[in-house]
Amino acid sequence: EIVILPDGAAVGAAAAARIAAVVQRKPEAVLGLATGSSPLGAYAALADLVARGEVDLSRTSAFALDEYVGVPPESPLSYAATIAHDATGPLGLDPARVRTPDGNAADLEAACSAYEAAIAAAGGVDVQLLGIGANGHIGFNEPTSSFASRTRIKTLAPRTREDNARFFGGDLDAVPMHCITQGLGTILDARQLLLVAQGESKAAAVAAAVEGPLTAMVPGSALQLHRTAVVLLDEAAASKLT
């Protein structure tokens, strides 16, 4: 399902309404969270619904998509800290039930397996919020990622490191080389996918993911395999759809 909305605020409101609907049906729902700029409008709109008493997220659990390797969780640049700041606090989530992959584990592969096991033990993700990278990645599944991939260590693509340098004061050398990300197979296991994209810089990736062939070169095209994938776009992000 592709929904084209007038602007980013409408995208955020629509995503929030869909997540709220899942939690209203199932108060102990498992949420899949994304970091970056794309989901911020959804978190803000969802925080408004929480503040107005229209939905209560305090009994949900949440799993982030990804984390940098080697950035300590107390650093504001870690995705653990970003999720705490952007989502856990404003949405009234229980911090004890919000997880990010452990990018500082002594045994990173064991941390990846533990993350998969934790998602499974929670009963799987009910609704997964996603952004999309300009190179078509979802999570940090960079081009060439297998559609069957599970949570694993990945090397960030040069384009992704350039795009994310803005969070590191513009210093490309400060951007980590590696991350842990849920795999495309992990993401596809969620019961509903909700991809949000705003702005012209995402238009080509959105068109390739939604209208192009299924290909590992455009990891977002994996959404075409899902029964309940909703793509919420502003007009700029939709501008290259046919």
Residue ranges in contact with ligand F6R by CB under 6 A: 34-38, 65-66, 131-133, 137-140
The rounded distance, in Å, linking the Cα atoms of 116 and 112 is 6
Quote the least distance from Cβ 132 to ligand F6R, whole Å.
Answer: 6
Residue number, 27 or 72, with CB nearest to ligand F6R: 72
Q: Which is nearer to ligand F6R, 133 or 176 (CB)?
A: 133
Residue 207: how many CA atoms within 13 Å on its side-chain side? 13
Closer residue to ligand F6R in complex, CB, 53/170: 170
Q: Decide whether 11 or 57 has the Cβ nearer to ligand F6R.
A: 11
Q: Is 178 a catalytic residue?
A: no
Minimum distance from residue 64 beta carbon to ligand F6R (Å) = 7
Minimum distance between the CB of residue 37 and ligand F6R, rounded to whole angstroms?
4
- Catalytic residue list contains 135: yes
> Exactly one of 67, 86, 126, 135 is catalytic; which is it?
135
Q: In the annotation, is 142 catalytic?
A: yes
Q: Taking the complex as a whole, how short is the minimal distance between the CB of residue 127 and ligand F6R, in angstroms?
A: 15
3-state DSSP of 87-149 = HHHHHCCCHHHEECCCCCCCCHHHHHHHHHHHHHHCCCCCEEEECCCCCCCECCECCCCCCCC
Which single residue brings its beta carbon nearest to ligand F6R?
A: 131
**Which one from 142, 163, 189, 234 is the annotated catalytic residue?**
142
**CB-nearer residue toward ligand F6R: 105 or 134:** 134
Q: What tokens were used for 203?
A: 């238009």
CB of 85 to ligand F6R, least distance (A): 14
Residue 211 among the catalytic residues = no
Q: Given 67, 116, 126, 137, which residue is catalytic? A: 137
Q: Which of 66, 67, 102, 116 is catalytic?
A: 66
Q: Active-site residue numbers?
A: 66, 135, 137, 142
